[in-house]
Amino acid sequence: MENVTWFGHASFSFVDKFSGHRIYYVDPFQLTQNNDLLPADIIFITHAHSDHLSRGDINLILKADTIVVATPDSLRTLDIMQEKLPVESNKSYKIKGFEFRTVPAYNIKPDRLEFHPQKNKWVGYIFELNGLKIYHAGDTDFIPEMRDLAEEHLDIAMLPMGGHYTMGVDEMIEAARIIRARKVIPMHYRMLLADEAYKAEQKLLSELKDSEVVILEEFK
């Protein structure tokens, strides 16, 4: 997908071609120094788990004027000189002329409550980039707040479907049908065994007809 790179898991980079080709990352993870990585203008972190807030990966893409956006508990773990912007759920922000909004991300299934409790106030992000409205859900179940996202008229929804720490493929399909984004990109599922990940992809492709499903290749 043009101007969007998936590094696996929930890790993405975006090139903002309308603002001097600024580079934005969400949850940078599993980056390598062989990737010809572009330094980040803004880094967005959804929550404090090490597969989303990876200090080693963040260090690979920092430059002097990088800004790191995250919830306060995440920022407290980062010992960096760069500017840090603390965010809360359900708030709108503007930084370097770039506007974005935070939305809730949490678990509601009883067997997942300990992983991403609602009280932690962790987030997903909604932003407009290159004329597209994009939603990165973070680590979450299909939560009631997602029903409001249909009114956002999203172009792209990046939704987890791993099924252990986040919603699985069936819940993700249900969420996608409610959200009604033009395109859906699955994430946070390739940690499954290869055949399980493939089956999840095929189920998504065969059952979700209201949105175009885009399976990205991991950038290595």
Query: What are 87-98's pLDDT values in tens digits?
Result: 999 999 999 899
Using the predicted structure, report yes or no on whether residue 192 has a pLDDT greater than 70: no
Residue 219: the pLDDT is 81
Mean pLDDT of 34-48: 91
State the pLDDT at residue 40. 97
Q: Which of 136, 165, 103 is nearest to 28 (CA)?
A: 136
Look at 7 and 34; give whichever has higher pLDDT.
7
| Residue 164 pLDDT | 84
Q: Is pLDDT at 189 greater than 90 in this prediction?
A: no
Distances (CA, A) of 220 to 107, 141, 162, 169, 173: 30, 28, 20, 25, 28
Please name which of 144, 176, 163, 158 lies closest in space to residue 214, comparing C-alpha atoms. 158
Q: What is the DSSP string of 76-124?
A: TT---SSEEEE--TT-EEEETTEEEEEEE----SGGGTTTS-GGG--EE
Tell me how long the chain is. 220
Distance of CA 127 to the CA centre of its chain: 11
pLDDT at residue number 35? 67
Q: What percent of the chain has pLDDT over 90?
A: 79
pLDDT band at 36 (very low <50, low <70, confident <90, very high): confident
Reading the block at residue 155, the tokens are: 């172009």
In this structure, what token pair is assigned to residue 60? 């690979």
pLDDT at 109: 86
For residues 4-19, average pLDDT: 93
- Phi, psi dihedral angles at 183 (to 5 degrees): -130, 145
Q: What is the mean pLDDT of residues 27-34?
A: 85
pLDDT tens readout for residues 50-72: 899 999 999 999 999 999 999 99
Report whether pLDDT(193) > 70: no
- At 85, the pLDDT band (50, 70, 90 cuts) reads very high
User: What whole-number distance in Å separates Cα of residue 55 and Cα of residue 46?
Assistant: 14
Q: In this model, does residue 113 exceed pLDDT 80?
A: no
pLDDT band at 177 (very low <50, low <70, confident <90, very high): very high
Lowest-pLDDT range of 75-84, 110-119, 209-218: 110-119
Evaluate if residue 191 carries a pLDDT over 80.
no
pLDDT for 208 beyond 80: yes
